[in-house]
Structure formats: C-alpha cells, structure tokens
A and B are shown apart, each in its own frame.
Chain A
Amino acid sequence: MKRLAFAAALAGLLAAGTAHAGEVLNRITQSKTMTVATAANWPPQSFVGPDNTLQGFDVDVAKEIAKRLGAEAKFVTPEWGIITAGRWSGRWDISVGSMTPTTERTRILDFPAVYYYTPYVFAVHQSSPAASRADLNGKVIGVEAGTTTEDYINGRLKIDAVGVPPFTVDVKPKEVRTYGDSMGPLDDLRLGNGTRLDATVSALPTITGAVKRGYPVKALADKPAYYEPLAIAIDKGDADFGSRLTAIVDQMKADGTLKTLSQKWYGDDLTTLR
C-alpha cells in the first residue's frame, strides 16, 4: 500500500510538467492575461522596436488572439531552443513565434493552427553570376542552425502540416556552414561573392529586409525553394485550448484580420498559399 502511494506520488510529480485539459484556458480566462513566448530578435515577426517594446507580426497576432479570448497578452522571451523543447510547466501559455510544425516537434508540442506561410529562397551576393538554383551546386552555403533551412539543405526536412506544397532538394552544396542566428550567413555573404559564402537559404522577408538596409545581397529569381507553414504552438494535453485557438485563427482568416496584419508587416499577403 505504501509503495502504491509512493508510485502515485511519483506519477503525479512526473505529470506536473504537462498541461491538463482545460487547465491553460481556465488560467487565461481567470487571470485575464495570456503569457506568450516569442523571440525578440526576429524582424519583422517579433523584435524590439524603437520604443523598446516588442512589436511585429507575431506580436500583433498574439495580441489579437488574446483579445478574442478576453485577455491581455504578456510577452516573455526565452531562447528559441527552450520554447521548442516543450514541457513549459505553465511558464507561458502559448507560443506565437512562427514555429514550423515539423514531425519531430509534434511529438512534444501541439499545433492548433497554421496562421501563415513563408516562402524560403536562396540568396547570393549582388555580384554573383548565379541565376538559378542549378548554379549553386558545389558551392558553400550558409544556413541558420536548428531551423528548417538547415534540415532542408541537408535533405532531412519533413514538414508535417496540411496544405504544404511538395518540394525537392535540388542543390548539392560542397559545404554547409551553420550559424547561430539568421544574421550570420548574411553578414558573411555581404563580405563578397565567395569570400566566406556563395549563398544562403533564408526566409524571403529576411532577405527583403536586409536588402532594404543596404546589404549587397539578392534573392534568386526562381520559384521559392519551399514554403514553410508557420503555426501557433501550445503545450501538449490541453485539447480545449487547442480547439478554441483553431476556431479563433479560422475566424481571423475569415474576417480578414490576419490578411491586414500580414499586409502591414510584410507588405504582402502570406496567409494563403499561391
């Protein structure tokens, strides 16, 4: 009997890390705050703006979701790896952080809704003669570590979500260099064509932003390498909260809120596939 009680206590202890049905939703409606985990250095999704507060597409989407849940959004900014590691233990309720619902991630997190798609493209130095992806075979390509770009260039990318157009990996690089953040490859690419890198794979909005800031880079003109579906993530186990979020995002798509926000931050409608 004693041993049984001990086992039960141990099981309770181990289960403490994951959420129970309705628990997160209850917490949000009771405290009227929804704690959102997001990045702080990823414009235009979420970044520290001129007034030293977080702003961006993801931040606006999170605020809108919170509003529709009758709550206020509060933001925390742990490292990306800590958000994707799961087992949030109630530190935050939701991640609106442009997360790709890959097969591996669905083991530890739930993805109630895909809210937009980012086209991923190859970018080269302005002086590069490369015109299409075929010209990048046997070159040095830089990617951000731990993102879909790294999996893509190594031929390991699996995206587990509905409505993703099929893609093929048709570039065989000589060498893949990985960087700690998305700026690393661009900073190396700006040094010159082939100085450290010949090309990088990155999200189209990131490249556009860099070009706008005077980086001497350009996106290759051919079709995007792949589209990345980007989803809202929650901790495993609260199905009520998940279905509520699915309904809210569907609603935001239907009444055009999401499209307006996408136009505002990307200058383009990325919420539907073309």
Chain B
Amino acid sequence: MYQDNVIRPRMTDSPAFLGGTAAVVFAAACLSGAGQSGLGGLLAPVVNSLSAPALRTVAVALTLALAFTANIHLIGKLPLRGQVIAVWTELLLLFLVFFDSFDLSYSFIGTKVGFMITQGVLTTVYVSAISIAFAFVFALLGSTAKLSGNGFAVAVASFYTSFFRGVPLLIQIYLIYLGIPQLGYVVDAIPAGVMALSLCYGAYMTEIFRAGIMSIPKGQWEASRALGLTPWHTLSRIILPQSMRLIIPPTGNQFIAMLKDSSLVSVIGVWELMFLARTQGRAEFRHLEMLITAAVLYWALSFVLERVQAHLEKRFNRAHR
C-alpha cells in the first residue's frame, strides 16, 4: 500500500489512546469475570490473598489492562520489522499457553508424532502433489477450451467448471468413490481421492488460467500471427510464458488450500494426516492431543509452501523488476 510522507506523532505514544485502550481492556476483563477464569489462576500467587471475588476480578483486570497498554506502548517504539517479530512472538506464545491450558500429554504426542509424519504428512503431501499436477493439466485444457471458438469445447469446459465448482468437494469424493464402481470399474480409495481433488481444483484453476491468458494484450496474438506462428505455437511459446507470471501465485494458493482439503479424502479410508488425527488418540481418549498435533503439522506444511510460493513468484516476476 501507499506509504504516507506526512510525519505524525505515534498513536502508541498518545496518552489519550493508551488510556482509552486500558479502559476498554479493564471494562472487558471486569465484565467477563477475569478473576474466576484461567487467567486469574495464572496470577493466583498475587491475588489469592484477596478473598472477595469482585475484588479479585478488579485486581486481575487492572493487571491485564496495565500489561496490555505497556506492551502496546513499548512495541510502538520499535521499527516496523521489530514490531512484526514482536507481535508474532507474542501471538505464538499466547497460542501455546492456550493449547497448554488443555492439560495435554506431551509424552503421548511424542510417541505418535513420528508415525503421523511418516504416514500422515507423507500421504497428504503426495496425494496433494499428484492432484495439483493433474489439476494443472485440467485447468490448461479447460481454459484453452473456454477461450476457443469451438462451441463444443466451450460447452464441455463450461459444464465442467460449473459442476465441479458448484458441488461440495465431499460430495464429489463420495460420488466418484461410490458411483464409478456402478459402471463396473472399481477404483481404490487413493485414485478416487486424487481424481476428485484434481477435478475440483482443476475447475477452479481453469478460471485462474483463463484470467491469466486474457491478461495478455491482443496485440501479442496479432503480432505472432503476422510473423507466421501457428495458433498453437502462439499460445505455447508467446502467451503462456507471459501469463505464468499471473498464474503461478494463485496456483500456489490453491495448492495450500488443497493440502487442507485433502483431509476430506479421509472419509474413504486413506490414512492421511486427518485420518490419523481422528483415529490415533481414540484408544487412549486423547484426541485433542492428536488434533492439535495435526493442526501444527498442517500449519508447518503451509508455512514451508508459502516460502516456496514467494520464491516462485520472484522467479516468474524477473522481467518486471
């Protein structure tokens, strides 16, 4: 976004803003009865001497308001990068405290996490990777068909995108897994899941590809044709390489989304990450541990992919730097 050049005093230095924030936090903490919550337990050594519950709430709320305001004030003094790092760390810590308050058994997570990675993460990643590769092909075919002058191709492609974007992925998985055997072809769980994922994401990506191709000025087509290139060569050598710059970032986004949507394949019995998360802790009545472990693993995967995507974006943007 646009960086304004007018220099104003920092908001986090203004007493009115800080006072207002403190008052809001104090009021919210008082109203939600902070003294009785888990937060009150955290401050227990200090506030337990106060016997009246109302007094305890006020004490906890006051501490909270002061700490929060001081925190904002201090972070406000940092440069932008420092602010980002500080707030990230704080949010992450809060998250960990939140998880920790569930009274989790870390030793149990320790015994299971290896299998969740070797079996679960591996299956999730390879199912998603194969699916995105197929989806890429479907999208390329779909978008060229949609932009072609052939009535049949346009009809088939628009029918395809309409159906696969209009029906929930879960239903598509069921339809493919249960429906195709009625025709006499028995598909296994993983091929059925890959088929559903790639058809569905192919339909979404068709629109991304179409937008990418249409963004290239018409003059490029005309110039290529004038030079005697065939329409196919124009598309593959001139138009697509240029439109990749616009296609790659949203495709990476789709892959990250697919990574998580692939958890739907667990309903047909594929032992991927979500399936293991739901089943591993069941015998020990420790499903919360497994769900949190899966959440962290999915998050870590997405984080890595975001980095990869940023790198790709940079690469395809070379010409425009």
Partners in one complex: yes
**Chain A interface (Cβ < 8 Å from any Cβ of B):** 13-14, 16-17, 40-44, 47-50, 52, 76-79, 81-82, 85, 87, 89-91, 183, 209-210, 213-215
Contact B267 A48 (CB under 8 A): no
Contact B178 A48 (CB under 8 A): no
Contact A87 B279 (CB under 8 A): no
Contact A82 B268 (CB under 8 A): yes
Given contacts A90-B186, A91-B186, contact A43 B178 (CB under 8 A): no
Contact B268 A49 (CB under 8 A): no
Contact B178 A13 (CB under 8 A): no
Asked if B183 is at the interface (CB within 8 A of a chain A CB), the reply is yes
- 17 residue pairs of the A-B complex, CB under 8 angstroms, read A13-B183, A14-B182, A16-B182, A41-B278, A49-B283, A52-B115, A76-B269, A77-B271, A77-B275, A78-B189, A78-B269, A79-B269, A82-B177, A82-B178, A89-B181, A183-B282, A210-B285
| Cα–Cα, bound, A82→B176 (Å) | 12
Given contacts A40-B275, A47-B279, contact A213 B186 (CB under 8 A): no
The binding surface of chain B is classed by DSSP as: helix
Contact A17 B182 (CB under 8 A): yes
- How many A-B pairs have beta carbons closer than 8 Å: the answer is 74
The binding surface of chain A is classed by DSSP as: loop
Contact B279 A48 (CB under 8 A): yes
Residues of chain A contacted by B283 (CB below 8 angstroms): 43-44, 47-49
Chain B, residue nearest A76 (CB): B269
B34-74: which have CB < 8 Å to A? none
Contact B284 A213 (CB under 8 A): yes
Contact B111 A50 (CB under 8 A): yes
Given contacts A79-B269, A82-B268, contact A52 B119 (CB under 8 A): yes
Given contacts A82-B267, A90-B186, contact A215 B279 (CB under 8 A): no
B161-201 to A contact mask, C-beta < 8 Å, 1/0: 00000000000001001100111101011000000000000
B252-278 to A contact mask, C-beta < 8 Å, 1/0: 000000000000001111010001101
Chain B, residue nearest A12 (CB): B184
Residues of chain B contacted by A52 (CB below 8 angstroms): 115, 119, 280
| Cα–Cα, bound, A50→B282 (Å) | 11
Residues of chain B contacted by A210 (CB below 8 angstroms): 285
Contact B178 A85 (CB under 8 A): yes
Determine which of A17, A41, A42, A43 lies in contact with B181 in the assembled complex, contact meaning CB atoms within 8 Å.
A17
Residues of chain A contacted by B271 (CB below 8 angstroms): 77
A23 to chain B, nearest CB (A): 14
Residues of chain A contacted by B183 (CB below 8 angstroms): 13, 16
Residues of chain B contacted by A183 (CB below 8 angstroms): 282, 285, 287
Contact B269 A77 (CB under 8 A): yes
| Cα–Cα, bound, A48→B281 (Å) | 8
Contact B280 A48 (CB under 8 A): yes
B185 to chain A, nearest CB (A): 9
| Cα–Cα, bound, A210→B286 (Å) | 11
Residues of chain A contacted by B177 (CB below 8 angstroms): 82
- Give 16 new A-B contacts, CB below 8 A, not counting A48-B279, A89-B181, A91-B188: A13-B184, A16-B181, A43-B282, A47-B279, A48-B280, A48-B282, A49-B283, A77-B275, A78-B189, A79-B267, A81-B267, A87-B181, A89-B186, A183-B285, A213-B284, A213-B285
Which 8 residue pairs spanning A and B have beta carbons closest together? A89-B181, A78-B269, A213-B285, A41-B282, A16-B184, A41-B279, A40-B279, A47-B283
Contact B282 A79 (CB under 8 A): no
Given contacts A17-B182, A78-B189, A91-B186, contact A47 B269 (CB under 8 A): no
